[in-house]
Each structure stands twice: as structure tokens, then as C-alpha cells.
Amino acid sequence: MKKGYIVLENGKIFEGKRFGYDSEVTGELVFSTSAVGYIEALTDTCYQGQILIQTFPLTGDYGWIPEDAGDSPIRAAGFVVREWCDSPSNFRSEWTIDEELKKQQIPGICDVDTREITKILREEGVMNAVICDDPAKVDFSALKNFRTGKSASTLVSGSKPVKFGDGSQTNGTVTVINCGNYRNVVEKLLAENFTVNVIPCTATSEEILKTGPDGIIVTDGPGNPEDNAKTVETLSELTGRLPMFGISLGHQLIALAKGAKTYKLKYGHRGANHPVKSLKDGKVYITSQNHGFAVDEKTLPSTAVVTYKNCNDGTVEGIEYLDDKAFSVQFVPEKGFASANTENILYGKFTDMLNK
């Protein structure tokens, strides 16, 4: 295997071996703590343009399973692992992760100390990095100033409305504002007997209301929530008019629409093992998350009530807006160890709002 390097903007250089597509890539370097689910992580729109590190030391042991990726392309710009498995063992595997990275032209690097890199990110915060062949050619000034671009959610939210349902649904119509990750939401709503309209996050309030919604869900997606000024304006026009449920980025966008502020976390919450406490009953749920920003509790309006908090750092994980029939959570209720409980609790709450 060809020698390669990952170079961090703080000057740290790690030598490894190239796998995947042989090209150079620059991006924000982030880590995921999941032991499994690398297919879902790589195709998660929340990693749009980022270089992803897997903290679990072995990646690719069950190969690439197209069914698990669906029709979603790889969103991560690059992939960093300690070791990748060239002989996967799974009856559903079609080919190796290396072959899929080559197919989608995503560069990777292996045989690097992912533990040490992750420790750096935890101590210094997320930073830019480049996967390359020659660290001597890296322009550190350009690397530090690199930006993936604003409004990442607009790159992954689609451009046209899509309707789901065959007309037999009896619980009503829900319009999903798609910031990138909408599939799990649609599946859950269809299972709950709703007709679903998925509309891009760039849609106006008039376009959303024309779909005839009984309620609105704002999905998860990538990027800085403050870069989505148009979506925030739209949500500010819609809050209070219809029941609204926000998930992850949607949680942050609703908070901005209500006049709150968000801030960037030091290294984000990424993975399937983040403990979240319900302030209502004290129960702790192990949740799936993928985001780099949080809502500033001190800036919330007086009518907002914090419903969940992160057990590790105390950040806001859930909010209810008492005067607006709106609520949101920072975690993804359809994924993770707690999904069997949290999705029923939260979607049940949303359904109850629609029926009142």
C-alpha cells in the first residue's frame, strides 16, 4: 500500500497508508465513537464535506452492504481508520469498504494512530486537516482558513417536493422540511399512517402551507445552523400556526427562529452512545447524535422549557415551546440504543399535538 499522511492545521503530521481513492482532500476533521454503522456514518448527510475518523480500531469487517446505504452517496470527504478489513465476513456484504471508497472517489488513510488524533481533537477542538502524499507541500495558512462553504444543508436537501403515501393514510398529512436526513422520519410517519410531503429546506412558508400540512417536522442535516437564514425566517413565520417537531439541526433552527442563539461545540457529539437525561422523569437514554453545534440555554425565550440534557456536558438536548405547540430534540430518535423508546415517546407527543 502507498504511503500517505494526514496533516492537522496545528502542525501535527501522522504517517499512514493510503486506501480508497488516491487523491488529496481537505476538510474539517471530526470523529465518531460508534463501534458499528460505518456505512450509515459515511452516507450521513451531517458529514457533508468533513473528514471522518472512526475511533473503533477495526473498520470494514462486514464489508459494504448497498442495502444499508440505500441510494445515498458517501457524504464524508475523507475517511481515517486505524485498520480496515480486506476480507469482510458477512452474508450481505457485496464488496470491501476500500472498493466502495474507490468507486465513489473518496480518499482514505489507515495505519495511523486514531486514538492520538482523537485525543488531540478532544483537547484542542475540531480542526481542519488534509489527506495527502507530501506534508512538505501543505500550505498551513490555507489549511487553517479552509471553509467547506455555507448552508451545507442546501446541498443535500433536494430541489423538488416529494409526496409519500398511497392515499389510504388516515391520520392526516405531515410536511417534512428536509435539511438532509429525512428517510427515517418518512418511514416512521408512514408506519404511523400519515401522508408525508417532503419539501426542501429552502421552501418558503407559503410553499409549505400549500402542501396542506396538519403538522411540520424539521429534520436533521449538516453545517452551522446560523448559515440557514432563509430556513430560520420561514420557521419564524410558521411557529405557532401548526404543531412542529424539530430533530437535531431542526432543533437548532427552531431555537434560532424563536430568537435563541447557538454556539459551536469543542468537538461535537458524534456516535451512537451519548447519554441524555429526561428532566421530566429522570430517565437516561443512550442516543445517536451527529452535530457540532448546540443551543445556548441562556438565550431561550421565557416560554421555552428545557426537556432533555446531555449527561456528559450539560448541553441542551430537548426544548418545548409552551405557547407554540412546538418541541425539538438534539438527538436522532429513530436511531441508537434508545430508539425503541424515544421515537415512540416523541412521535407519540407529536401525534397528540395533531389531534388536539
Beta bridge partners of 295: 262
Check residue 234 and give left, alpha or beta (phi > 0: left; psi -120 to 50: alpha): alpha
pLDDT at 336: 57
Over its length of 356 residues, how does the chain's per-residue pLDDT go in tens digits? 899 999 999 999 999 999 999 999 999 999 998 888 899 999 998 898 899 999 999 999 999 999 998 878 999 999 999 999 999 999 999 999 999 999 999 999 999 999 999 999 999 999 999 999 999 999 999 999 987 655 667 777 777 889 998 778 788 899 999 998 888 899 999 988 999 999 999 999 999 999 999 999 999 999 899 999 999 999 999 999 999 999 999 999 999 999 999 999 999 999 888 999 999 999 999 999 999 999 999 999 999 999 999 999 999 999 999 999 999 999 998 765 556 677 788 999 999 998 87
Phi, psi of 204 (to 5 degrees): -85, 165
Q: Are 35 and 70 contacting, i.e. CB atoms less than 8 angstroms apart?
A: no
Q: What's the CATH code, domain 152-355?
A: 3.40.50.880
Q: Are 267 and 205 contacting, i.e. CB atoms less than 8 angstroms apart?
A: no
How many secondary structure helices (H) and strands (E) does the chain include? 11, 19
pLDDT at 181: 86
Which of 95, 99, 37 is CA-nearest to residue 66? Answer: 95
DSSP letter string over 213-268? -SEEEE-B--S-GGG-HHHHHHHHHHBTTB-EEEETHHHHHHHHHTT--EEEEEEE
Other beta carbons within 10 Å of 153 = 31
Residue 111 gets which letter from DSSP?
S
DSSP letter string over 259-318? T--EEEEEEEEEEEEEEEEETTT--EEEEEEEEEEEE-GGGS-TTEEEEEEETTT--EEE
Domains in the chain: boundaries: 3-145, 152-355
**Spatial separation of the C-alpha atoms in residues 10 and 46, rounded to whole Å:** 24
Other beta carbons within 10 Å of 3 = 12
Burial degree of 327 (CB within 10 A; 0-12, 13-18, 19+): buried
**Spatial separation of the C-alpha atoms in residues 299 and 296, rounded to whole Å:** 6
- Options 3.30.565.10, 3.60.15.10, 3.40.50.720, 3.50.30.20; CATH for 3-145 is 3.50.30.20
Check residue 11 and give left, alpha or beta (phi > 0: left; psi -120 to 50: alpha): left
